[in-house]
Amino acid sequence: MTKKILVLHTGGTISMQADDSGSVKPSTDNPMNHVGFELDDVELTVIDFFNIPSPHITPYHMMALYHKIRETTGQYDGVVITHGTDTLEETAYFLDTMAIPDIPIVLTGAMRSSNELGSDGIYNYLSALRVAIHPKAADKGVLVVMNDEIHAAKYVTKTHTTNVATFNTPTHGPLGIVMKHDILFFKTAEPRVRFDLNQISGTVPIIKAYAGMGLGEGIISLLDPDKIDGVVIEALGAGNLPPEAAQELVRLMAKGVPVVLVSRCFNGIAEPVYAYDGGGVKLAESGVMFVKELNSQKARLKLLIALNAGLKGQDLKEYIEG
C-alpha cells in the first residue's frame, strides 16, 4: 500500500548553501527539492512552506505549521518538516503540544549546508522520511530525527553549535535509532495534554540565574508586569535562587505575573529541596511553579500555550507542574 507523506520545507541550513568565503546563506532554490529517493510505495507531496533561517521562526510560524497539518488531516500518512536547527526543538515541542493527527510527524534539519564537505542534510531528510513511513512511529508524538537518532520533541535539545551530533536527549536518551535497513524504537513517549488553538500571543521572557543576582542589579525588577504575561527563570541547581532575586520574583507574582522555574543545569530535574531563603522549598511556597523535564525555551512555550488556552490558578499550576 502506497504511503502518502506531506513534506513541509521551512528553510534553515538544510536549504542553504555556502559561498566562496564559507558564509552560509539562504537559497531561493531549495536543494532538497532536487533530491531523488528510492523509497518503495511512497508518494511525496512537497511544499516550500517557509524559507527563513530558524532564528526568524516565531510562535506564529509554529501555529501556521500546526494549522497546515490540521487542515490536511486524513489526506496523509505522515508529515516531515525540514527546519533550521537553532529553534527546531521549540517548533517540535510546540507541535507536540497541539491537537495533531495521530500520524508520524517528524522534524529534521542539517548542521552543514548542502554544498559543504560532509553535508548531512540529504541523509537526515531520507532518515526522516524512513521514520515517517514506519508503522511504529505513529504513537510516539512529534519526533526529531538527526544523525541516525530518533528523539522525542519534549526532551530533545541542541547541545553543540556546529557538530552533526548536536541533538541529544539529556537524562532520558533517544527513543530509537535509524539502522541501515530498519528503524528500531526502544522507548515510547508519554501521552500529554494537547490544545487546539487558533492563535497565540503574549510575552514570556526567560531569565538565567547567576551568583549575586539581585544585588543592586535588579534584572527581575526591571520587568514591567504590565508588559509581560509570565516569566521563566533558569534557576541554580535543583531549583534555587539568590535570596534577593527570590524576593524580586515574589513581588512580581504579587502583581499577577506567573513564574515558572527550570534548572539551568544540563541534566536532571528541578524540584523544591532546599528550605533556606531563596531555596526551592520557599520558592514553591511563594507560588513559583516547577516544570519537570523541560528546558527553559520549552517551558516558555508551555506557559505561553497554557495562557492562550485560558488556564488560570490551580488549573494552570497543575498543567505546568504535571
Decide: helix, strand or coil at residue 316.
helix
Lookup: cell for 268: 536532571
**DSSP conformational letter for 322:** -
Q: What is the Rg, in whole angstroms, of the alpha carbon atoms belonging to the chain?
A: 21
The answer to whether residues 220 and 209 touch, using CB atoms and an 8 Å cutoff, is: no
Q: Which residues are catalytic?
A: 13
Residue of 50, 52, 36 lying closest to 129 (CA atoms): 36
Residues 6+ apart with CB under 8 A from 103: 76, 77, 78, 79, 138
CA distances from 268 to 98, 106, 114, 190 (A): 26, 26, 36, 18
The answer to whether residues 83 and 9 touch, using CB atoms and an 8 Å cutoff, is: no
217 φ, ψ (degrees, to nearest 5): -95, -40
